[in-house]
């Protein structure tokens, strides 16, 4: 519901805008964030329909496109610094004074270009929607600024997108949507090791994702948790007690518990994990009427956090290769018909990716809106209803706990994941933007 309404709202703004041409463009912080929000909603929509754009791969696209948005505006953001030299890239210079650019047009061009590049395997209809959004804003801007300033900004935005996409191709995950499963990878075997899980019994996905180049140097090494509990099949062991906690909870789930599990479930029809997190951010940007500069800053930091959180957690997953609850409950505890609320994703348990990514997201939301900022998430009003949180941390904790209620992650691997994600988010906030 919120996806459709926000996208329609953006198009309505385009249709009814009646601004007069302005040959003295304002600073970026004087422009509304509608063009930024519309493009992020487009990307969210594309992650739902484009083959290969699961939760892991989508973290990466939100990272690079957020950076592209910020860098496309940077020369018009007085007092701000480029992110690129701080995260392993190269700053992109302009060849004219900042007042010779109409900066919203730079965002439009950059986002259209880099979205086409990342979603090159999208459907014909989806590609047409990218073209339509770009044209709608291009048409709108013609009534707001001179032709030269729009063209300067458009050229610069495209140059930013081209450079950042070329840089992205060297991070170890280029066109990752096409090779989610590595046929050369052989999962380790032995007691307590992950094995394919019901119902699909799918091969493990993206086993080398943790080796990708991160935006924050050595993010995986700097945020790794300790080893999980020692594996044991003894009913007196801490490991058995950990699994039994999940099993016991599963026997008496309330209606609210089931709603939480499904609300955060990366299922057909739902948003995937980073798309849901970005949809929350967009809702809050709209609600708080952030300007274009503030929105770009938020999207860039949030995208960096999502990407680096996914690298950190997948490094952990394939380091420990921990067995999933459904395997242990069925084969060790002797409950062969026990099942989860939602299907178990095809990768090892430790740590819980949803907890890591959501906690990293929450750290950025705290930085933008405040640690005690309460909000309501309207992502699924028509299906599961709205959900209200007392703080960003409250949102992350519910997202993490949803995996316990769903029966797919142990409580300790969730709590470790929340800590891991906050560490990632805090490292992202060490970037110097001003």
Per-residue DSSP letter, 375 = E
pLDDT tens digits along 106-125: 999 999 999 999 999 999 99
Q: Are residues 140 and 209 in the same domain?
A: no
224: helix, strand or coil: coil
- Region 350-370: mean pLDDT is 98
The first and second tokens of residue 324, run together, are: 């999933």
Q: Are residues 44 and 152 in the same domain?
A: yes
CATH code, domain carrying 268: 1.10.606.20
- Region 128-142: mean pLDDT is 98
Adjacent-strand bridge partners of 375? 389
The Cβ of residue 96 has, within 10 Å, a number of other Cβ atoms equal to 14
Give me the pLDDT at residue 12, please.
46
Q: Closest by alpha carbon to 162, among 110, 88, 108?
A: 110
Q: Are residues 163 and 229 in the same domain?
A: no
Q: What is d(CA 379, CA 54) in angstroms, rounded to the nearest whole number?
A: 18
Cα distances (angstroms) measured from residue 199 to each of 28, 56, 250, 405 = 50, 20, 18, 18
Give me the pLDDT at residue 21, please.
53
- Choosing from 168, 203, 223, the residue where a domain stops is 168
Q: Are residues 125 and 187 in the same domain?
A: no
Adjacent-strand bridge partners of 388? 376
- Region 180-193: mean pLDDT is 97
- Choosing from 146, 168, 190, the residue where a domain stops is 168
Rounded (10°) angle between helices 292-320 and 34-49: 30
Query: Is 356 in contact with 424 (CB distance < 8 Å)?
Result: yes
Q: What is d(CA 29, CA 326) in angstroms, rounded to the nearest whole number?
A: 51
Q: pTM, whole model, 2 decimals?
A: 0.94
352: helix, strand or coil: coil
Number of domains in the chain: 2
pLDDT tens digits along 245-254: 999 999 999 9
- Region 230-243: mean pLDDT is 98
- Region 185-212: mean pLDDT is 97
Cα distances (angstroms) measured from residue 314 to each of 149, 274, 351 = 44, 15, 8
- Region 213-241: mean pLDDT is 98
218: helix, strand or coil: coil
- The pLDDT-based confidence of 95 (bands split at 50, 70, 90) is confident
Query: Is 92 in contact with 84 (CB distance < 8 Å)?
Result: yes
CATH code, domain carrying 142: 1.20.144
Task: Give ∠ CA 282-283-287 in degrees, rounded to 5.
Answer: 115
Per-residue DSSP letter, 203 = P
Q: Are residues 128 and 250 in the same domain?
A: no
pLDDT over 70 percentage in the chain = 94
pLDDT over 90 percentage in the chain = 92
- The least confident of 9-23, 25-39, 299-313, 364-378 is 9-23
Question: What is the distance between the terminal CA atoms of the chain, rounded to a whole angstrom?
Answer: 36
Give me the pLDDT at residue 10, please.
46
Burial of 158 (0-12, 13-18, 19+ CB in 10 A): middle
Cα distances (angstroms) measured from residue 321 to each of 239, 346, 416 = 15, 11, 15
pLDDT tens digits along 48-68: 999 999 999 999 999 999 999
Q: Are residues 416 and 335 in the same domain?
A: yes
The first and second tokens of residue 11, run together, are: 């198009």
- Region 244-269: mean pLDDT is 96
Mean pLDDT of the chain: 94
181: helix, strand or coil: strand
Q: Are residues 398 and 315 in the same domain?
A: yes
Q: What is d(CA 273, CA 294) in angstroms, rounded to the nearest whole number?
A: 23
- 338 domain-assigned: yes
35: helix, strand or coil: helix
* Residue corresponding to tokens 């110097």: 432
219: helix, strand or coil: helix
Query: Is 144 in contact with 13 (CB distance < 8 Å)?
Result: no
Q: Closest by alpha carbon to 416, among 191, 188, 229?
A: 229
Q: Are residues 10 and 73 in the same domain?
A: yes
Give me the pLDDT at residue 268, please.
84
Question: Residue 387: what are its φ and ψ, rounded to 5°?
Answer: -130, 135
pLDDT tens digits along 2-56: 445 444 544 444 443 434 454 555 678 899 999 999 999 999 999 999 999 999 9
Q: Is the peptide bond before 351 cis (omega within 30 degrees of 0)?
A: yes
Query: Is 237 in contact with 317 (CB distance < 8 Å)?
Result: no
The Cβ of residue 276 has, within 10 Å, a number of other Cβ atoms equal to 25
Give me the pLDDT at residue 373, please.
98
Q: Are residues 187 and 91 in the same domain?
A: no
Rg (CA), the chain: 22
Q: What is d(CA 421, CA 277) in angstroms, rounded to the nearest whole number?
A: 13
Q: Quote the domain boundaries for residue 231.
A: 182-428
- Choosing from 168, 201, 221, the residue where a domain stops is 168
- 310 domain-assigned: yes
- 174 domain-assigned: no
Those residues whose C-beta lies under 8 Å from the C-beta of residue 18, and which sit 6 or more positions away, are 143
Give me the pLDDT at residue 110, please.
98
- Asked if residue 400 has pLDDT above 50, the reply is yes
Q: What is d(CA 83, CA 385) in angstroms, rounded to the nearest whole number?
A: 38
């Amino acid at each position: 519901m919120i996806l459709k309404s926000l996208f329609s709202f953006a198009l309505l703004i385009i249709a009814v805008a009646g601004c007069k041409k302005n040959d003295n463009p304002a600073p970026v912080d004087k422009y509304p964030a509608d063009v930024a929000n519309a493009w992020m909603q487009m990307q969210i929509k594309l992650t739902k329909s484009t083959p290969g754009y699961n939760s892991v791969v989508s973290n990466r696209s939100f990272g690079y496109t957020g950076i592209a948005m910020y860098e496309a505006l940077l020369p018009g953001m007085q007092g701000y610094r480029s992110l690129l030299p701080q995260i392993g890239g190269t700053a992109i210079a302009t060849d004219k004074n900042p007042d010779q650019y109409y900066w919203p047009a730079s965002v439009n061009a950059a986002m259209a270009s880099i979205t086409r590049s990342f979603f090159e395997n999208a459907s014909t209809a989806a590609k047409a929607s990218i073209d339509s959004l770009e044209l709608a804003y291009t048409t709108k801007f013609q009534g707001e600024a001179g032709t030269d300033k729009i063209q300067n900004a458009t050229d610069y935005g495209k140059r930013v997108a081209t450079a950042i996409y070329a840089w992205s191709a060297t991070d170890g995950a280029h066109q990752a949507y096409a090779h989610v499963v590595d046929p050369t990878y052989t999962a380790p075997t032995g007691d307590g090791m992950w094995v394919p899980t019901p119902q699909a019994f799918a091969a493990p996905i993206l086993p080398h994702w943790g080796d990708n180049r991160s935006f924050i140097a050595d993010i995986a090494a700097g945020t790794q948790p300790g080893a999980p509990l020692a594996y044991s099949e003894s009913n007196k062991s801490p490991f058995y007690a950990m699994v039994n906690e999940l099993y016991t909870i599963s026997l008496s789930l309330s209606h609210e518990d089931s709603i939480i599990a499904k609300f955060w479930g990366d299922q057909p029809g739902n948003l995937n994990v980073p798309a849901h997190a970005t949809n929350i951010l967009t809702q809050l940007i709209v609600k708080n009427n952030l300007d274009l500069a503030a929105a770009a800053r938020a999207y860039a930091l949030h995208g960096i956090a999502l990407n680096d959180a996914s690298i950190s957690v997948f490094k952990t997953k394939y380091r420990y290769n921990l067995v999933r609850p459904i395997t242990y409950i069925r084969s060790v505890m002797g409950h062969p018909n026990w099942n989860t609320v939602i299907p178990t994703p095809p990768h090892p348990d430790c740590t819980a990716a949803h907890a890591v990514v959501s906690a990293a997201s929450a750290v950025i939301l705290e930085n933008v809106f405040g640690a005690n900022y309460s909000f309501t998430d309207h992502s699924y009003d028509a299906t599961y209803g709205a959900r209200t949180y007392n703080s960003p941390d409250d949102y992350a904790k519910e997202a993490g706990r949803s995996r316990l209620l769903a029966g797919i992650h142990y409580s300790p691997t969730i709590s470790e994941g929340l800590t891991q994600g906050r560490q990632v988010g805090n490292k992202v906030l060490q970037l110097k933007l001003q």
